[in-house]
Structure 1
Amino acid sequence: MVSLPRFAAATTSAAIRVFGFILLRWIPGWPFAPIVITSLVIYLSSVSSLSQDTRLVDDRANKGGKASTKRTSDSSAHESGDSALKILLTGLPSKRSPFWTRVTALINVIVAVLALDFLIRGLVVYPSADAAFSRIGYVSPTTANLVFREPDTAQLPIIISYQEASQDPTKWTQEGTIYKLDNTTDFVASVTLKNLKPGTHYQYALSNNQTGNFVTSPRPGSKEASRMSFVTSSCLKPNFPYNILSHPLRVPGIEQMTDALAKLPALLKPSFMLFLGDFIYIDVPLRFGSSIDHYRSEYRRIYSSPSWKYSSDDNTAIDLPWIHTLDDHEIENDWSKGNKTAPYPAASDPFIHYHVSANPPVPAKPFAHPDDVTYFSFVNGPASFFMLDSRTYRSEPGEEDSTILGYAQLQSLLEYLSTPEPTGVYWKIISSSVPFTKNWKVGTSDTWGGFLNERRTVLEAMWRAERELGVRIVLLSGDRHEFAATRFPDPELGLPSQQFQPNTPGTGVHEFSVGPLSMFYLPARTYRQTDNEDVTLKYAPDGNSKFGLVNIAEIADESGTLGRSSILTYSLYVDGEVAWRYELSVPIGGKTGIETLQPGRVLEDNLWPETWDVPLKAAVGKVPDFGDLVAKKAAAIIEETLNRFQGGAKTE
């Protein structure tokens, strides 16, 4: 019979290695880090106990004690067949192989140390209290929002200046002066650079030696305003997958994106990044606190990453304007408790200072006081944008009256969808931090799939806009660490059955959900079409770094039947390479309406073909469904039993 110390040593050794691998290379989530550290303590204690046991048996054997004979023979039986491979695989010590015993113990210690390094090196070595940076947020034809952090009060006052990039370097325009920075805003301030020229390349400079570049948006109605490009993604975690030789704050996905964008021709260079949430992971792998300073420190560490200044052909990620939406890991996983419950107030503080202060303006009709609004709207070239906040105002999902937007935001969105766009704007692009589709079968309640009544209201408004306003609706989302493109066909069009087949390009409101920019992905297949409401276009779960490049341009129809069209091309990048491209169009200058909107089409598909393991991964993805079914069945049986018991008690 196996002794308890041997069983504990073998079990904890396996736990250290399996969960260490998962934490460092697969999913850096709870509770893998505590399991690894706790398992190491138990493992070392068990190995120590076994070693003492062996020494005790040896001492008794040397004294010739008869009582020790049986234990000596047992120990020899255990260890007589111990090979180096067995010791390394099981982690069990062997008296006959002290070298391999030390090696296998060392392996376990190293795995735990690496886990600890991943967990705390960035936290301890880079508290980032002295982090200083500057960046551009929302840019219009005549303005640019600048946000910066300067904790060194000796640098005050901070003078902000700008000039056209082609001008005499001695001719700067002074925009303003910041005389005070303190801990009330975590030493962060924002300034709007005004009176800029449309479509012009500018430089800015701060008196604390922070500098940068940006390009203003084109003048509405101009030829240049007929085209635009931007990138979109979500979710980033420094130094994952873990690399001991890497800087603990390095973000590999940002660097891959920088390299990929540097290869684009000038006309496709993006104007901004639309980042759809989970900019920080306050609760992954472990939450170290919920105070304002804990949240602030996470933002400081991200902005202290060397990846922002990583240069590829003189392009850096920090010079790309970023605009942000909020999601759960900036607060707490699967957050749905509103904006008054802790820790939301602490979480919102740095989000407002670091991101909202540089974001676009609130909608013209926010249906709430502008100071209380965290959803945004703007126009850039041929597209208008509505950036939803799907966290701050949501209630618990799954109820008849559940809301993901809250009353004011919902009314503002419906107003936006029903409002005609100015001449030259053919696209309404709506961003959501969580997917609109209900095709994800794990965590569905955290997506719009948990708010189906409100989703239906919004979908009907989108279909009506496409039918009546001569625009096309595109949804952009993140959160899932996977990519999926989904269509929502308008039921009033009476489309043929082939339009509802999975992986079929066609008409309808389109959603492109992409992530992570730099984080883990799930090997299981959790997305699948189950009805004719959400039609699968493409599903691509693999890849630690994914982002979408959206390009819109006016193109003449080669057939001559539609005249000119505004063409939107969505390019999916996986690990820095183009993996899939899809095209949508809106006719210009002629007859408009839903009947003129051509089906989308796939331009390029470089994704890996599905292999033998896909059915296995799909089966793994269905495990949560089975668990939910069992839980619901058990709850129903318990409820029925209680009802019968209560009924019997009343009869008596």
Structure 2
Amino acid sequence: MVSIPRVAAATSSAALRVTAFFFLRWIPGHHFPPLIVTFLAVYLASLVSLGRPGDQSNTDRRKGNEDAQHASRSPPPTKGVLKVLLTGLPSPRLPLSTRLTVLINIVLALLTLDFVGRGFILYPSNDLAFSRIGYVSPTTANLLVREPDPAQLPLIVYYQPTEEDPSRWTEEGVIYSLTDATDFTTTVTIKNLEPSSAYRYSLSNNLTGSFVTAPMPGSKSANRLSFLTSSCMKANFPYNPLSHPLRIPGLEMMTETVNRLPSLLRPAFMLFLGDFIYVDVPQRFGSSISHYRSEYRRVYSSPSWNKAQDGLPWIHTLDDHEIENDWSKGNTTAPYPAAAEPYIHYHVSANPPIPPTPFAKPENTTYFSFINGPASFFMVDTRTYRSEPAQPNSTILGSAQLQSLLAFLARPEPAEVRWKIVASSVPFTKNWHVGTTDTWGGFLNERRTVFEAMWRAERELGVRIVLLSGDRHEFGATRFPDPDLDFSHEELLPNTAGEGLHEFCVGPLNMFYLPIRTYRQDDDEDVAIKYIPDGNTKYGLIDIDVQDELITTSTGKTISIPSSVFTYSLYVNTDLIWKYSLAVPLSGQEAVVASASTWKHPRFPPGKLLLDDREEDSTWDAVVKTVIGRVEETVGRVRSFVLEQAYEVLDRVRRVERVD
């Protein structure tokens, strides 16, 4: 007869170990900690039941009979030890192995609790004092400061050119008061700076830093720009019990990469596209303003942060984990107001200016626009104003932001600006087939409106539009060909370079990646260029520069055309693994390109693949992961269908009851 306590012990032990592995090393979902604690409780209860006198006497009698009948069949000691250690089942004949296997399960549960709570409990970071540079223009720099110690007030802000005598400083201003109303933060704008110049700043509380101003529009320096982009980071993941709980390895890897770059490629800023904090991962401890504030403080308290931010301005968009997973309930429903308060103090206050035409009150605007060198940027907010997705009138931007974005796309740019870059926290492509409705894939009518404006801008303004996004914990490059142009079947095949709007979606900077394959091309609207899912740390380096671009004429001859070239370099950990370029012929060269080439947009040559160290997966494990991804997608669709039918039946029942 099967012993129920033994079955319970073996099952709960196996479930605990598998779940703990997934949680600590793969996906730190908030569902896992309660399960792990529950499995441990069941396991320990089963051991207690197995140790009761009655149960033990029955076990001993059975063992005695079995030993008498099968003495010659006793397993070797090594096999018995492995069975105990692997199954978690106790053995009276192997007390040391029994204690060890019990200890393994207890330690796994303790490690889970350590990952969940050590940073939150031991590092509230209330006494954090720090400074960082946000948006930098040709003549100004936004400096965010936090100082909770009243003894350090008033704070005096100084700055000087890097090459100047270290003893000579210019005073920018004095901070007389910092209060809990802003979590002891404020933003100071350092003014009267020279374009394309290196500066350092110093505060009277010994905080220091450096930055480089943006180029003056129209100058030679305005032809070049380099910057970084990524999204999504969580401290101490994958979990390491010996690591500082606030350490962010991805930040350190990115810093190592930046330090290896030649001076011409040093990034001007980091464009971080959301999920700077994970308020609900691995566990939500509250939804108050003070709780959200503490999450920002913990990131800025990370031992990895000081290494990553020195000399690198950061500018930010908002995404769901700064509020709540898959947030789509507007800006008045809780917990949004509590989540927005520290986001405004820590990020919005140091961000670029709002667009010249926001179509909303400036104090209620959380989308931004700026120009740096050859590129004009619009940073959309896809969380604050969105409605429920996948409805006929769904909006991801809200009316005012949509009108502001359309005005930005239609606006003529200065002569040196060859690129319009739209930064979104969630991807535009619908090629991701899990969680699609949380992206622009759940707002396809509004996406079409935006895309039509982008295609029109490319045709009429002579600028090329690039989309940058995050959120997905994977890398995906996609192009969106203008449907009014007559593309051949070969030009729309997946995994090909070519024409169209281009999107580069990258993440995470330090988080899990999906173990299944969820990105693929299903139609001719979203053409897949490259998909790279693996890697806990991924980030993109964008470089825009003027160089000669080779094109092939209709006669087969290759000619050189001066162009503004946009190069996207993808890094996984510290390794450069993929590189792709786009080009805009410079003024005066369009006619040459038009007469020499055969593509539909003579102004804009097709994209070029420059490097690919991750060839398309064809191994058996990649196939299995793809199949699993399709199964998960199918299950999600079936679940949605069943729920819709159930809701429809309930609505009919309610209507009948009301009639009766």
Same fold (TM over 0.5): yes
Letter in 2 for 1:371: E
1:331 aligns with 2:323: yes
Matching residue of 2:544: 552
After TM superposition, give the deviation of residue 42 of structure 1 in Å. 1.8
Letter in 2 for 1:374: T
After TM superposition, give the deviation of residue 627 of structure 1 in Å. 1.2
After TM superposition, give the deviation of residue 624 of structure 1 in Å. 2.6
After TM superposition, give the deviation of residue 125 of structure 1 in Å. 1.6
After TM superposition, give the deviation of residue 637 of structure 1 in Å. 6.5
1:14 aligns with 2:14: yes
Matching residue of 2:632: 624
Structure 1 pair 644–515 and aligned structure 2 pair: CA distance change class (3 A): closer
CA distances 1:452-497 after superposition (whole Å, capped 9, x unpaired): 1000000000000111110100000000000000000001121222
1:442 aligns with 2:442: no
CA distances 1:252-306 after superposition (whole Å, capped 9, x unpaired): 0000001111111110000000000000000001100000011000000000001
After TM superposition, give the deviation of residue 148 of structure 1 in Å. 1.2
CA–CA separation in structure 2 for the residues paired with 1:555 and 1:76: 87
Matching residue of 1:30: 30
- How do residues 177-196 of structure 1 correspond to structure 2 at under 5 angstroms? 177-196=174-193
CA–CA separation in structure 1 for the residues paired with 2:577 and 2:471: 19
After TM superposition, give the deviation of residue 645 of structure 1 in Å. 9.7
Output the TM-score relative to the length of structure 2. 0.93
One of 490, 496, 503 as aligned partner of 1:498? 490
Q: Which SS does the other structure have where 2:540 is aligned? A: strand
Does structure 2 retain, via aligned residues, the 8 Å contact 1:19–1:32?
A: yes
Does structure 2 retain, via aligned residues, the 8 Å contact 1:54–1:95?
A: no
Structure 1 pair 606–77 and aligned structure 2 pair: CA distance change class (3 A): farther
CA–CA separation in structure 2 for the residues paired with 1:637 and 1:367: 40
After TM superposition, give the deviation of residue 558 of structure 1 in Å. 5.3
After TM superposition, give the deviation of residue 109 of structure 1 in Å. 1.0
Letter in 1 for 2:334: A
Matching residue of 2:248: 251
1:577 aligns with 2:569: no
Letter in 2 for 1:626: T
One of 602, 614, 626 as aligned partner of 2:609? 602
Structure 1 pair 575–608 and aligned structure 2 pair: CA distance change class (3 A): farther
Matching residue of 1:276: 273
Structure 1 unaligned blocks of 5 or more: 62-68, 311-315
CA–CA separation in structure 2 for the residues paired with 1:618 and 1:456: 29
Structure 2 unaligned blocks of 5 or more: 552-557, 595-600
- How do residues 501-580 of structure 1 correspond to structure 2 at under 5 angstroms? 501-557=493-549, 561=559, 563-580=561-578
CA–CA separation in structure 2 for the residues paired with 1:356 and 1:643: 43
CA distances 1:535-575 after superposition (whole Å, capped 9, x unpaired): 00000000000000000001134578564100000000011
CA–CA separation in structure 1 for the residues paired with 2:426 and 2:66: 59
One of 161, 165, 173 as aligned partner of 2:162? 165
1:42 aligns with 2:42: yes
CA–CA separation in structure 1 for the residues paired with 2:650 and 2:46: 47
- How do residues 37-436 of structure 1 correspond to structure 2 at under 5 angstroms? 37-53=37-53, 56-57=56-57, 69=61, 73=65, 83-310=80-307, 316-436=308-428
CA–CA separation in structure 1 for the residues paired with 2:515 and 2:460: 42
Does structure 2 retain, via aligned residues, the 8 Å contact 1:518–1:545?
A: yes
Q: Which SS does the other structure have where 1:288 is aligned? A: coil
CA–CA separation in structure 1 for the residues paired with 2:409 and 2:143: 30
Output the TM-score relative to the length of structure 1. 0.94
Does structure 2 retain, via aligned residues, the 8 Å contact 1:57–1:71?
A: no
Does structure 2 retain, via aligned residues, the 8 Å contact 1:562–1:590?
A: no
- How do residues 639-650 of structure 1 correspond to structure 2 at under 5 angstroms? none
Q: Which SS does the other structure have where 1:595 is aligned? A: coil
Letter in 1 for 2:354: V
Letter in 2 for 1:399: Q
Letter in 1 for 2:613: N
Does structure 1 retain, via aligned residues, the 8 Å contact 2:212–2:311?
A: no
Q: Which SS does the other structure have where 2:520 is aligned? A: coil
CA distances 1:209-260 after superposition (whole Å, capped 9, x unpaired): 0000000011111111100100000000000011111111000000000111
CA–CA separation in structure 1 for the residues paired with 2:177 and 2:68: 75
After TM superposition, give the deviation of residue 167 of structure 1 in Å. 0.5
After TM superposition, give the deviation of residue 4 of structure 1 in Å. 2.4
CA–CA separation in structure 1 for the residues paired with 2:10 and 2:651: 48
**More off after superposition, 41-50 vs 71-80:** 71-80
Structure 1 pair 584–53 and aligned structure 2 pair: CA distance change class (3 A): farther
1:589 aligns with 2:587: yes
Letter in 1 for 2:505: S
After TM superposition, give the deviation of residue 11 of structure 1 in Å. 1.4
Does structure 2 retain, via aligned residues, the 8 Å contact 1:563–1:589?
A: no
Q: Which SS does the other structure have where 2:52 is aligned? A: helix
CA distances 1:375-408 after superposition (whole Å, capped 9, x unpaired): 0000000000000000000000011000000000
Structure 1 pair 214–623 and aligned structure 2 pair: CA distance change class (3 A): same
Letter in 2 for 1:533: E
Matching residue of 1:2: 2
After TM superposition, give the deviation of residue 201 of structure 1 in Å. 0.4
**More off after superposition, 508-517 vs 181-190:** 181-190
Does structure 2 retain, via aligned residues, the 8 Å contact 1:254–1:317?
A: no
Q: Which SS does the other structure have where 1:151 is aligned? A: coil
CA–CA separation in structure 2 for the residues paired with 1:434 and 1:306: 28
One of 477, 492, 515 as aligned partner of 1:485? 477
Structure 1 pair 365–98 and aligned structure 2 pair: CA distance change class (3 A): same
After TM superposition, give the deviation of residue 76 of structure 1 in Å. 9.6
**More off after superposition, 628-637 vs 481-490:** 628-637
CA–CA separation in structure 2 for the residues paired with 1:563 and 1:580: 24
**More off after superposition, 176-185 vs 609-618:** 609-618
Does structure 2 retain, via aligned residues, the 8 Å contact 1:499–1:506?
A: yes
Superposition RMSD in Å: 2.4
CA–CA separation in structure 2 for the residues paired with 1:424 and 1:104: 67
CA–CA separation in structure 2 for the residues paired with 1:204 and 1:648: 71
Letter in 2 for 1:605: D
**More off after superposition, 435-444 vs 112-121:** 112-121
CA–CA separation in structure 1 for the residues paired with 2:656 and 2:387: 38
